[in-house]
Amino acid sequence: MSSDRIVLPEITRSDVGTVLVSPWIVGTPQRQRDAVDATISEWKVAPWPAAFLSLNCFVSLDGEAVLNYAQWTDDDAHREFVRTYRPTLVRGIDEAVPGIERPGLVRYRLRGSVVAEDRPRGEVVAVFVSDSDGFEHASRLVADAQARIGTPPDLPPGLRAAHFHISADGTRVLIYEEWSDETAAASSPHHDVHGTTGNLYRLRRSLTRHQR
């Protein structure tokens, strides 16, 4: 079973083995919408591998970028999909929206989460990325980030959840936060961390294979 709904992904779902994050630079809000719509259209006619769990297409609030956050059960299945079908999928997207800049896909693993279950799901997602020098350094960055956030019930106002990821090669840390709104998200303690880049997003569209 699958659905195309505007519902934030379940980051902690138990069947996720790998997270694939791909930022695109598109330049304008209209191109954001067109790129996401073209992506979902192409995926709807693609052969979904059994390992595919979800694709979540976010648009940045500054109107410049699309962030694709995908969940799969394993990397090997995704690599086989890239080898056999991705060129067809990308060709359809690029025909609809020429000139998309793709800095590159990064493979992540979820390394920890802080969730306030008594707070409603957020409307805005803040995503922060830091470079790291191997897994030991990445683990320290995650610990520092968790310390800045705190733990329930003492999370910052408006923060519902924070999810901490480390790339498969240990070179990057990604923090994914759910906030109630744009104003609350702007207060994230990670905005002013040296060496960290961040942006605010809203989910535009998603495709999800429901858990059995």
pLDDT at 2 (0 to 100): 55
pLDDT tens for each residue of 58-81: 999 999 999 999 999 999 999 999
Q: Residue 99's pLDDT band (boundaries 50, 70, 90)?
A: very high
- Smallest CA-to-CA distance from 145 within 106, 181, 159, 122 is with 159
pLDDT at 210 (0 to 100): 75
**Is residue 66 a contact partner of residue 60, using CB atoms and an 8 Å limit?**
yes
pLDDT at 164 (0 to 100): 98
pLDDT tens for each residue of 202-211: 999 999 987 7
- pTM for this prediction: 0.95
pLDDT at 4 (0 to 100): 63
Number of neighbours of residue 207 by Cβ within 10 angstroms:
21
Angle between helices 29-45 and 86-96 (to 10 degrees): 140
Q: Which domains are assigned to the chain?
A: 15-105+204-209 (3.30.70.100), 109-201 (3.30.70.100)
- For residue 52, pLDDT over 90 is answered with yes
Number of neighbours of residue 211 by Cβ within 10 angstroms:
11
Which pair of tokens denotes residue 21?
């994050």
